[in-house]
Amino acid sequence: MHTFQPYPIDMLDFNPFQKIGKEWMLITAGNKEKANTMTASWGGVGVLWGKNVVFAFVRDTRYTKEFIDREESFSLTFLDEKYKSALKYLGAVSGRDEDKIGGARMHLDYYQDKTPYIDEGNLVIVCKKMSATRITDEQFISEGLKEQWYADGNMHTMYVGEIIEVLAR
Ligand SMILES: Cc1cc2nc3c(=O)[nH]c(=O)nc-3n(C[C@H](O)[C@H](O)[C@H](O)COP(=O)(O)O)c2cc1C
């Protein structure tokens, strides 16, 4: 297991377009008995309701969604470039079908013995769930979004999570 240290959020050098959009992240949720993780490249960080927050978008069908919905917290793990193929795998198979964390040769750590994150990461954002909003067809203002992204009705839920700790190693 690696040693992670709390990292002051004011010192964070974090370009979301690069880190989330290009390098991707792992959304991990669950408890010490069972947890799951999935790759994500949509989302953001910002400020809302007086808190530093993350935004994560998770489709209805994702197994990870069940864990996010069940627990009070979740995490975002960012990894070095050498894990890109593992991220592709974790974003292609479901934890419903196989032990994909083991399959990717990754390991779970727990923040305060509770919130799971991926030990192989170099930066972890630990979040307490603030809200969950399912995106629905009638919310779209730009034309074509529904047809382009949701033809099969597999909608995203937008989770807003309060950043309660940033961990770096
Ligand atoms: C690069 C990449 C980015 C992805 N981004 C998202 C995302 O932001 N939201 C989402 O719901 N699924 C996203 N996925 C798909 C999930 O990672 C994928 O469906 C995964 O197998 C779900 O695993 P699970 O069923 O174990 O939760 C992405 C996949 C890849 C490869």
Q: Provide, rounded to the nearest whole percent, the portion of the chain with pLDDT above 70.
A: 100
Closest CA to ligand 1's atom 20: 91
Taking the centre of ligand 1 as the mean of its atom positions, its distance from the CA of residue 38, in whole angstroms, is: 5
- Cβ(145)–Cβ(134) below 8 Å: no
- The proportion of the chain whose per-residue pLDDT surpasses 90, expressed as a percent, equals 99
- The burial class, CB within 10 Å (0-12 / 13-18 / 19+), for 38 is buried
Q: What is the pLDDT of residue 112?
A: 97
- Quick: pLDDT tens for 147-159: 999 999 999 999 9
Ligand 1 centroid to residue 9 C-alpha, Å: 26
Mean pLDDT score across all residues of the chain = 98
> What confidence tens digit (pLDDT) does each residue in 81-126 have?
999 999 999 999 999 999 999 999 999 999 999 999 999 999 999 9
* 115 class by beta-carbon count within 10 Å (0-12 exposed, 13-18 middle, 19+ buried): buried
- Region 160-166: mean pLDDT is 98
Question: Going by CA atoms, what residue is nearest to atom 6 of ligand 1?
Answer: 40
**Is the separation of the CB atoms in 32 and 110 below 8 Å?**
yes
Query: Which CATH superfamily includes the segment(s) 5-168?
Result: Electron Transport, Fmn-binding Protein; Chain A (2.30.110.10)
Residue-range domain boundaries for the chain: 5-168
Testing ligand 1's pocket by substitution, the residue of 28, 34, 62 carrying the most ligand atoms inside 8 A of its CB is 62
Q: For the chain, give the longest Cα–Cα distance.
A: 48
Q: What is the pLDDT of residue 10?
A: 96
Binding-site residues, ligand 1, Cβ < 6 A: 24, 36, 38-42, 57-59, 62-64, 88, 91-96
- Per the CB < 8 A criterion, the answer to whether 36 and 153 are in contact is no
Question: How many residues belong to the chain?
Answer: 169
Residue 9 near residue 163 (C-beta atoms within 8 A): yes
Look at residue 27 in the predicted model and tell me its pLDDT.
99
Name the pTM for this structure.
0.98
3-state secondary structure the chain: CCCCEECCHHHCCCCHHHHHHHCCEEEEEECCCCEEEEEECCEEEEEECCEEEEEEEEECCCHHHHHHHHCCEEEEEECCHHHHHHHHHHCCCCCCCCCHHHHCCCCEEEECCCEEEECCCCEEEEEEEEEEEECCHHHCCCCCHHHHHCCCCCCEEEEEEEEEEEEEC
Tell me the per-residue pLDDT of 24-72, one tens digit each, with 9 for 90 and over: 999 999 999 999 999 999 999 999 999 999 999 999 999 999 999 999 9
Per-residue pLDDT, 21:
98
Please state, in angstroms and rounded to a whole number, the distance separating the CA atoms of residues 74 and 28. Answer: 6
